[in-house]
């Protein structure tokens, strides 16, 4: 899965890009006080990294698949 696609899903559920440093995008949900970072590298994101981002963002895998 492309990292650019992964970044879009948290933005759909209320996360906002606060900044970007190099290839890393920092996302924050101020209402729920959650934050996560997604690396926008030129290769597909590994499954463990995807699951880590979803866990930090408190997004269930089923909801993630629906929002794609």
Average pLDDT value over all residues in the chain? 94
Q: How far apart, in whole angstroms, are the C-alpha atoms of residue 43 and residue 45?
A: 6
Domain count, the chain: 1
Q: Which domain holds residue 13?
A: 3-67
CB-CB contact of 36 with 10 (8 Å): yes
* CATH number for 44: 3.30.920.30
**Rounded-to-integer distance, Cα 19 and Cα 50, Å:** 20
| Residues 15-47 pLDDT 10s | 999 999 999 999 999 999 999 999 999 999 999
Q: What is the pLDDT of residue 1?
A: 87
């Amino acid at each position: 899965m492309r990292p650019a696609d992964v970044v879009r899903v948290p933005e759909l559920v209320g996360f906002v890009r606060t900044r970007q440093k190099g290839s890393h995008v920092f996302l924050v949900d101020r209402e729920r006080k959650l934050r996560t970072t997604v690396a926008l590298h030129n290769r597909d994101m590994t499954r463990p990294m995807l699951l880590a981002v979803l866990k930090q963002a408190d997004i269930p895998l089923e909801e993630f698949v629906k929002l794609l």
